[in-house]
Amino acid sequence: MTALMLESFAAGRWVGPGSQARTIASAVTGDAVAMAGSDLDYQAMLDHARTVGGPNLRAMTFHDRARMLKALATWLGERKAKLYELSLHAGCTKADSWIDIDGGIGTVFVFASKGRREMPDGHVYVDGAVEQLSRNGTFIGQHIATPLQGAAVHINAFNFPVWGMLEKLAPALLAGVPAIVKPATATSYVAEACFRMMIESGILPDGAVQFIAGGTGDLLDRLTPQDVVSFTGSAATALMLRSNPHILRHSIRFIAEQDSLNASILGPDATPGTPEFDLFVKEVVKEMTAKAGQKCTAIRRIIAPKPVEADLIDAIRAKLSKTVIGDPALEGVRMGPLASQAQVRDVLEKVARIGTEAECVHGDPAAFDVEGADAEKGAFVPPMLFRCADPAGASAVHETEAFGPVSTVMAYDTLDDAVALANRGGGSLVMSLITHDPAVARQVAIGAGAWHGRIYVNDRDSMGESTGHGSPLPHMTHGGPGRAGGGEEMGGVRGVMHYMQRTAVQGGPDMLTAITGMFVPGSRTVETDTHPFRRYFEDLAIGDTLRTSSRTVTMEDIEHFAHFTGDTFYAHMDEEAAKANPFFPGRVAHGYLLLSFAAGLFVDPAPGPVLANVGLEGLSFQKPVSAGDSIRVALTVKRKTKRTDTYGEVRWHVVLTNQDDETVATYELHTMNAYRDVT
């Protein structure tokens, strides 16, 4: 193929390779695949993000942006075949590309869905509950989050050109922050193709995304405290970039996802012959060979009970011997080359370092078979397994990340020893534990949690549906302490928060209702002439309230409800026993009876805009109700969220009070209400 001329996308236009362009070689054949490196005006890019992209994105609500992400993921999904094709040059088998391409698109879908389910259809994200800061509730507190007003600079690693770009873009765009993407040069032709599809879709507003094919020049020196750098790559590059004095001086957010010496522990119960032993071997071999071991989450240290060490090594070696290495385009090839010759040199240098403390028990980089490709021209290495006889006394095996199909077996005596070895990674992205014993899982999680961003426990019961040691999931946080960079990404809304500022707002209830767009108890309410159940979604305003008449609860009601439902709990039926209970003055009404009476008081029965009651949240019973007490209800519109083309969700703040105006119960009721104007 003729080499692709990769373009950057800066301030709304494509810019071709410039004076600093360099050639990128195919990992399989060594032939030139692309040229990358543009001369760019970085200040103009930042200005474009700040003055065009940011305002465009912030004019949209969280739900608008979530819908945009869904459309984008759908668009990319329909065009992904082209990305699979290009990915072959990076040495990826179909399975490797699936992790990168479908994994990346799937991540965008998850953020799109979480944005609509867990964030408001507004501009302010409410973080946690209202804090009562005063006796009478006239001065209260609420944490909110709003999007940063700068740009997100995403610097990505070479191993996942699509997933790496999309897993950072999805939360930034959902937050409302424009991004400048800088992929690793080695595989930037795959990232550029994906990025080009995004621009061609026309789905993103102007300025929302820009792309750098090549270096970042002095971009980082031009950032402000409203910008964020999210970096994925080696610890050495992270250290260099994050210690930039400009970044330090201005407290510019810097998220680092760097390399990690991830461990996998085989539980003491998982002896040969158990499903867990076989599962462990399978996961280890998969992690060594998927993406030719070029995964930040790959298992680098295999920690096994001493009595089974020899059996384990035999089992892993047997599987590794069957791994066909070669041209990833060929059917039957299980492991492709590394991404570049530079990676081969790097891996072999690290392997030599590991070799000073561990013996190689499988894989010789000077003698191995390669299917359908020239072993000299392509960036091929075999899987290499080491055994370290004295892991407690060793250091290189715990510190050296050979970013390829390389892993070291180390044996332990006690489970505490195993945990101590896992923690020697100095902070890791993930550790796994294969055990069928919940007590082992508990001991390991407590001992190793502080050193790990993620703990993956698997056994015969979960293996059918488990997602694999190496797969970060958009729902769960990805990142780890110490050596792993100290950063965190994804984890649903947690990942979106990295691009927002959390602000503690203090003031009166009316102020907080106006700021959050959500009714805060204590703020002004409005009683309208028409019953709220007779009003369409559009016609309900935050704070609209219905105050019902009251109803007296009788002992007959309590008896009837008890026998009708079968709930004859002593607190409702037995005066003596109820009195003996510290919570009750004597027989009291069932909480569910009160809820039912409340519904009877506030519903307007005829068919109308209210379509369904879909649930309630935060129910709390605060004062018992005895026979003779009377209750009434205040129902207030708390929050409205459009859900479909025909109806939206209304959340109601419901308060039940007694004849003395004391609060008996509170909860949030959720209904679906029809729109007046169906579009």
Q: Could you give the CA distance from residue 76 to residue 102 in angstroms, rounded to a whole number?
A: 9
Does residue 274 bind ligand NAP (CB under 6 A)? no
- Interface pattern 375-404 for ligand NAP (x via CB under 6 A): --------------------------x-x-
**Is 92 one of the annotated active-site residues of the chain?**
no
User: With respect to ligand NAP, which residue has the nearer C-beta, 257 or 357?
Assistant: 257
Location of structure tokens 């709990």: 569
Closest residue by Cα to residue 38 from 11, 62, 58, 63: 11
Among 158, 254, 456, 597, binds ligand NAP (CB under 6 A): 158
- Interface pattern 594-633 for ligand NAP (x via CB under 6 A): ----------------------------------------
User: With respect to ligand NAP, which residue has the nearer C-beta, 247 or 270?
Assistant: 247
Supply the minimum distance, in Å, between the C-beta of residue 107 and ligand NAP: 13
Supply the minimum distance, in Å, between the C-beta of residue 416 and ligand NAP: 28
As given in the structure block, the two tokens for residue 638 are 């708390």
> Are 328 and 289 spatial neighbours (Cβ–Cβ below 8 Å)?
no
- Interface pattern 110-149 for ligand NAP (x via CB under 6 A): ----------------------------------------
Supply the minimum distance, in Å, between the C-beta of residue 362 and ligand NAP: 22
Q: State the pairing for strand pair 13-15/384-388.
A: unpaired
| Contact region with ligand NAP (CB under 6 A), list: 114-122, 177-185, 600-608, 631-639 | 177-185
Hey, how many other C-beta atoms are within 10 angstroms of the C-beta on 241? 18
> Are 523 and 138 spatial neighbours (Cβ–Cβ below 8 Å)?
no
Supply the minimum distance, in Å, between the C-beta of residue 472 and ligand NAP: 7
- Interface pattern 207-226 for ligand NAP (x via CB under 6 A): ---------x----------
Supply the minimum distance, in Å, between the C-beta of residue 237 and ligand NAP: 3
Q: Could you give the CA distance from residue 290 to residue 92 in angstroms, rounded to a whole number?
A: 9
User: With respect to ligand NAP, which residue has the nearer C-beta, 186 or 421?
Assistant: 186
The string of DSSP codes covering 90-159 is GT--HHHHIIIIIHHHHHHHHHHHHHHHHS-SSS-EEEEEEEE-SSSSSSEEEEEEEE-SS-EEEE--SS
Does residue 195 bind ligand NAP (CB under 6 A)? no
What is the C-alpha radius of gyration for the chain, rounded to an integer number of angstroms? Answer: 30
Binding residues among 227-246 for ligand NAP as defined by CB under 6 A: 232-234, 237, 241
User: With respect to ligand NAP, which residue has the nearer C-beta, 241 or 571?
Assistant: 241
Supply the minimum distance, in Å, between the C-beta of residue 404 and ligand NAP: 10
SS (H, E, C) 210-249: EECCCCCCCHHHHCCCCCEEEEECCHHHHHHHHCCHHHHH
Catalytic residue among 7, 192, 276, 296: 296
Supply the minimum distance, in Å, between the C-beta of residue 188 and ligand NAP: 7
The SS3 of residue 650 is strand
Does residue 264 bind ligand NAP (CB under 6 A)? no
Q: Alpha carbon of 507 to those of 129, 153, 676: distances in Å? A: 14, 35, 35
Does residue 184 bind ligand NAP (CB under 6 A)? yes
Cβ contacts of residue 401 below 8 Å, gap of 6+? 259, 260, 261, 300, 350
Does residue 268 bind ligand NAP (CB under 6 A)? no
Q: State the pairing for strand pair 630-642/544-547.
A: antiparallel
As given in the structure block, the two tokens for residue 624 are 């018992």
Q: By beta-carbon distance, which residue lies closest to ligand NAP?
A: 233
Supply the minimum distance, in Å, between the C-beta of residue 244 and ligand NAP: 9
Supply the minimum distance, in Å, between the C-beta of residue 184 and ligand NAP: 4
Catalytic residue among 7, 167, 257, 309: 257
As given in the structure block, the two tokens for residue 425 are 């990674």
User: With respect to ligand NAP, which residue has the nearer C-beta, 179 or 540?
Assistant: 179
Q: Could you give the CA distance from residue 473 to residue 187 in angstroms, rounded to a whole number?
A: 22
Among 38, 87, 156, 428, binds ligand NAP (CB under 6 A): 156
For 371, how many CA atoms within 13 A lie in the half-sphere containing its CB? 17
Q: State the pairing for strand pair 301-305/406-412.
A: parallel
- Fill in the amino acid letter for 398: H
> Are 209 and 196 spatial neighbours (Cβ–Cβ below 8 Å)?
no
As given in the structure block, the two tokens for residue 622 are 């605060």
Does residue 258 bind ligand NAP (CB under 6 A)? yes
Closest residue by Cα to residue 550 from 477, 625, 657: 657
User: With respect to ligand NAP, which residue has the nearer C-beta, 96 or 259?
Assistant: 259
User: With respect to ligand NAP, which residue has the nearer C-beta, 182 or 651?
Assistant: 182
Supply the minimum distance, in Å, between the C-beta of residue 32 and ligand NAP: 17
Q: Could you give the CA distance from residue 463 to residue 499 in angstroms, rounded to a whole number?
A: 35
Among 153, 155, 351, 411, binds ligand NAP (CB under 6 A): 155
| Contact region with ligand NAP (CB under 6 A), list: 64-72, 128-136, 183-191, 369-377 | 183-191
Supply the minimum distance, in Å, between the C-beta of residue 321 and ligand NAP: 26
User: With respect to ligand NAP, which residue has the nearer C-beta, 6 or 186?
Assistant: 186
User: With respect to ligand NAP, which residue has the nearer C-beta, 43 or 613?
Assistant: 43
As given in the structure block, the two tokens for residue 550 are 């009251």
Location of structure tokens 């579009």: 679
**Is 194 one of the annotated active-site residues of the chain?**
no
| Contact region with ligand NAP (CB under 6 A), list: 125-133, 184-192, 390-398, 603-611 | 184-192
Print burial letters for 161-197: b (CB count within 10 Å at least 16), e (below 16): bbbbbbbbbbbbbbbbbbbbbbbbbbbbbbbbbbbbb
Does residue 341 bind ligand NAP (CB under 6 A)? no
How far is CA 342 from its chain centroid?
Answer: 32
Q: Which residues pair with 544 in a beta bridge?
A: 526
As given in the structure block, the two tokens for residue 511 are 């102020």
Q: Alpha carbon of 168 to those of 111, 152, 264, 337, 614: distances in Å? A: 11, 9, 27, 26, 34
As given in the structure block, the two tokens for residue 174 are 């959902």
Does residue 296 bind ligand NAP (CB under 6 A)? yes
Supply the minimum distance, in Å, between the C-beta of residue 553 and ligand NAP: 59
Count residues near ligand NAP (CB under 6 A).
22
As given in the structure block, the two tokens for residue 204 are 């993103």
User: With respect to ligand NAP, which residue has the nearer C-beta, 121 or 259?
Assistant: 259
Does residue 157 bind ligand NAP (CB under 6 A)? yes
| Contact region with ligand NAP (CB under 6 A), list: 155-163, 363-371, 380-388, 414-422 | 155-163
- Interface pattern 410-439 for ligand NAP (x via CB under 6 A): -------------------x----------
Supply the minimum distance, in Å, between the C-beta of residue 214 and ligand NAP: 7
| Contact region with ligand NAP (CB under 6 A), list: 25-33, 178-186, 197-205, 670-678 | 178-186
Hey, how many other C-beta atoms are within 10 angstroms of the C-beta on 245? 8
Q: Could you give the CA distance from residue 74 to residue 385 in angstroms, rounded to a whole number?
A: 41
Does residue 163 bind ligand NAP (CB under 6 A)? no
Applying CB under 6 A, the residues found at the interface with ligand NAP are 155-159, 182, 184-186, 216, 232-234, 237, 241, 257-259, 296, 401, 403, 429
Give the residue numbers annotated as catalytic, written as ranges: 257, 296
